Structure 1
Amino acid sequence: MVESVVEFFEKFGFIGMFLHSFLDAIIFPIPAFFLQVSLSILDPSNALWLATIGYIACLLGTPIGYLIGKVLGESVLYKLLKKKWIDAASEKFNKNGEAAILIGAFTPIPFKVFTILSGCFHFSFWKLIGYAAIGRAVKFYIVGTLFYFYGAASASFVKEELSIILAAVAVLLIIGYLFKKKRQSKHVKVRYQESKEESL
């Protein structure tokens, strides 16, 4: 299925890259990463242009994915899950959504998952755009830069090793984020205790 989809969009070159990446942020099940790699192998000199087109298209598609989640996502979830579960998930997503979007934006997880969930759980739209812009830039331009400078020789590395490296970076970011949250929580508790003692 992946090969068939990639071959279809591949025929349209830059336009295919734009369409695939745009749909990837909304509802399409196959990440635009596969098409970006395929087109970059065919013409490494255009790798950075492909990265730019894919990046812009993804950001343009993000608001639509968010809107779908906001309009339809909640009603679907309430049919499938209990309200208390949805409320708990919504609370957690709004607390840790920044990390989830930033990390998810450059991992193999389909990006539509994060755009739709952001809308469904009423996460800040502008935060979604901001963190998506950072994370997607990392994903698209790492691939584009590798192909631009090293040509088709980088294909095996991008296909086999890059996803593992990005996943490892994602794990480190998660650990760093949790550590930061823990420190902030501890700092708030200390400040609260100090203010309490001062009031006495």
Structure 2
Amino acid sequence: MKIFSALYDRVMTWSEHRHAVRYLSGMSFIESIFWPIPVDVMLAPMALSRPNKALRFAMLATIFSVLGAALGYALGQFFYEPLVEPLIKSVGYQHKMDVAFEWFEKWGVLVIFVASFTPVPYKVFTLTAGILNMAFIPFLLISLVGRGMRFYLVAGLMMWGGEKMEAQLRKYVEILGWLVVVLAVVAYLMLR
């Protein structure tokens, strides 16, 4: 069953849309607050389709992601009980918040760097940083470094790989897509 090839082609088409930069910026902003889809899903094809603008795309993703993180921090700090906590409970994220509290207790500000660079749900940690009243300027600086490293790495790899990487992705997209699905199911079962 081939579903990932069609999705791949659609994402590549979207990445060349005249408003793609706006979509990338908006997605980067909301992903740091609540959006479940990682920015890389849009950044990678945009960098592949326009390698001469890849670093600009990484810069925009970084800036808007950190701006979204600042809003997530503010929501956690000022609106946790009346707004955020009921929403977290209704979508079943309470366990993730509990893990975030534990990680903050264990690793302190380093957890912001880890969450901003890795696939760990960054949005949970932006809210938690606000809830725990983490110092705001270090929060922003660490977020800027972590998000910047991640997005520039993605853009750089796409620039470096270029057309050859795009051809290989297209060739193996079905295998890679199903592999990701299997890994996600295994990770879910292991963490449950």
TM-score, length basis structure 2 = 0.65
Identity fraction in percent? 28
The verdict on how the C-alpha distance between 1:57 and 1:9 changes in structure 2, with shifts beyond 3 A counting, is farther
Letter in 2 for 1:113: V
Residue 139 in structure 1 maps to residue 130 in structure 2:
no
- Superposed, 1:33-52 pairs within 5 Å as 33-52=40-59
RMSD: 3.5
Q: CA deviation at 1:61?
A: 1.4
- Superposed, 1:166-181 pairs within 5 Å as none
- Pick from 27, 30, 34 the counterpart of residue 23 of structure 1: 30
Letter in 2 for 1:99: L
- Pick from 119, 129, 138 the counterpart of residue 118 of structure 1: 129
- Pick from 113, 135, 140 the counterpart of residue 129 of structure 1: 140
TM-score, length basis structure 1 = 0.63
- Pick from 69, 74, 78 the counterpart of residue 76 of structure 2: 69
Deviates more, 1:90-99 or 1:50-59: 90-99
The verdict on how the C-alpha distance between 1:95 and 1:121 changes in structure 2, with shifts beyond 3 A counting, is same
Q: CA deviation at 1:110?
A: 2.9
Q: CA deviation at 1:153?
A: 3.0
**Whole-angstrom distance in 2 between the partners of 1:123 and 1:91:** 14
The verdict on how the C-alpha distance between 1:15 and 1:72 changes in structure 2, with shifts beyond 3 A counting, is same
Letter in 2 for 1:40: A
Query: Equivalent residue for 1:192?
Result: none
Query: Equivalent residue for 1:166?
Result: none
Q: Tell me: higher relative CO, structure 1 or 2? Use CA pairs within 8 A at least 6 residues apart.
A: 2
Residue 106 in structure 1 maps to residue 113 in structure 2:
no
Gaps of 5+ in 1: 81-85, 161-200
1:51-85 CA distance string (max 9 Å, x none):
111111111112101011112334555996xxxxx
Gaps of 5+ in 2: 1-6, 90-96, 177-192
**Whole-angstrom distance in 1 between the partners of 2:101 and 2:152:** 32
When Rg is computed on C-alpha atoms for both structures, the one with the higher figure is 1
